[in-house]
Amino acid sequence: MVTFGGLLLTSSILACAWRFNKPITIAAHVWPGYEPMFLAQRENWLDTQQVRLMQTASATESVQALAAGSIDGAALTLDETLKARAAGIPLSVVLVFNISAGADMLLVNANIKSLADLKGRRIGFEQSSVGELFLAEVLQTAGLKKSEVKLVALTVDQQVESWTHQRIEAVVSYEPVASQLQALGAFKLFDSRRIPNTIVDVLAIRSDILDYRHSSAIRHLINAHFRALEHINQNSQDASYRMATHLGLPADEVLPAFKGLVLPNAANNYRLFAGASPTLLANARHLSNTMVKNALLTQHDRLDGLIRADFLPTDFQNN
């Protein structure tokens, strides 16, 4: 009995140790704002014993993995995070990857010259993602209702094929796919500069793992992201070649793909999260209101536990 009890206790300790040492898994699809994280992985600045990145085809797939409980966090837009929380997935934001200032866009064919010309056209967009929010903003600006256009639901990895086969006449897109579509003759008609501070990409982690067991891994991931971001800023040409293959772009098109993105460093991240009334929280509140107004959320997010600044580095004064 004593021996059995000892073995049982040992097994329990080993099981706890395995859970303690198991790396956190973060999902992300290909997008310039998330690329520093992938660059850190390729350059071995990211310890795979602490963090594992899982590449997905789209934000939709990342959210599905969160819902299934197979990952611990994901790179998402803030609106996607709010929708996931509304679906019952407990998420907290620990990092801002980027703020879109032109990188998200509506691309159209040559027959569409103005927003008014969208009436009756086939518009591709990704449901349950930032594409749905962006489309709502486009239609509002155009003075059109959803019933006045033909909506075609497709994920970002389906856009090139759909455009090539002329299944769509316009599409809500972003880099690097946007460059591929423009090479096929698509024209930019509207971009996120028209809706400033609306599209914010963040690292969203399951709130139920934000404890001492995983804090070191989360901080390690965030620091690796900032290390890669610093490399991109200081050695842009070298970084372009290192990122080209993963982004699916020629090296000389990599830096232009980042145009239209604000990539906050550690200090600017801290400014977004800090204070009694954080800027990021105010943005989230405004976004929640916008989403309710456009029927993208059924009720306002109370924003409890949405942002966590305690995983950000604070030793950035000399950076």
Tens digits of residue pLDDT in 188-216: 999 999 999 999 999 999 999 999 899 99
Q: What DSSP line would sit under 45-68, residue for residue?
A: -S-TTTEEEEEESSHHHHHHHHHH
210 secondary structure, DSSP code: -
Q: What is the mean pLDDT of residues 15-25?
A: 65
* Cα distance between residue 36 and residue 49, in whole Å: 19
The answer to whether the CB of 166 falls within 8 A of the CB of 136 is no
Inform me whether the pLDDT recorded for 5 exceeds 70.
Answer: no
Amino acid code (one letter) for 82: L
* Residue ranges of domains in the chain, CATH in brackets: 2-99+198-293 (3.40.190.10), 104-194 (3.40.190.10)
- Give phi and psi for 265, each to the nearest 5: -80, -170
Interior angle at CA 288, CA 285 and CA 290, nearest 5:
110
Q: Which residues contact 263 (CB under 8 A, 6 or more apart)?
A: 33, 36, 97, 98, 229
The answer to whether the CB of 269 falls within 8 A of the CB of 279 is no
Query: Percentage of the chain with pLDDT > 70?
Result: 92
Inform me whether the pLDDT recorded for 319 exceeds 80.
Answer: no
* Cα distance between residue 188 and residue 186, in whole Å: 7
Q: Which residues contact 132 (CB under 8 A, 6 or more apart)?
A: 125, 126, 296
* Cα distance between residue 22 and residue 222, in whole Å: 18
Write out pLDDT tens, residues 121-134.
Answer: 999 998 877 889 99
Which residue, 124, 137, 154, is CA-closest to 198?
Answer: 137
The pTM (predicted TM-score) of the whole model is 0.87
Interior angle at CA 249, CA 48 and CA 257, nearest 5:
90
Write out pLDDT tens, residues 264-275.
Answer: 999 999 999 998
For 83, half-sphere exposure in the C-beta direction (CA atoms, 13 angstrom radius) is 23
Better pLDDT: 212 or 301 = 301
Inform me whether the pLDDT recorded for 12 exceeds 70.
Answer: no
Inform me whether the pLDDT recorded for 18 exceeds 60.
Answer: no
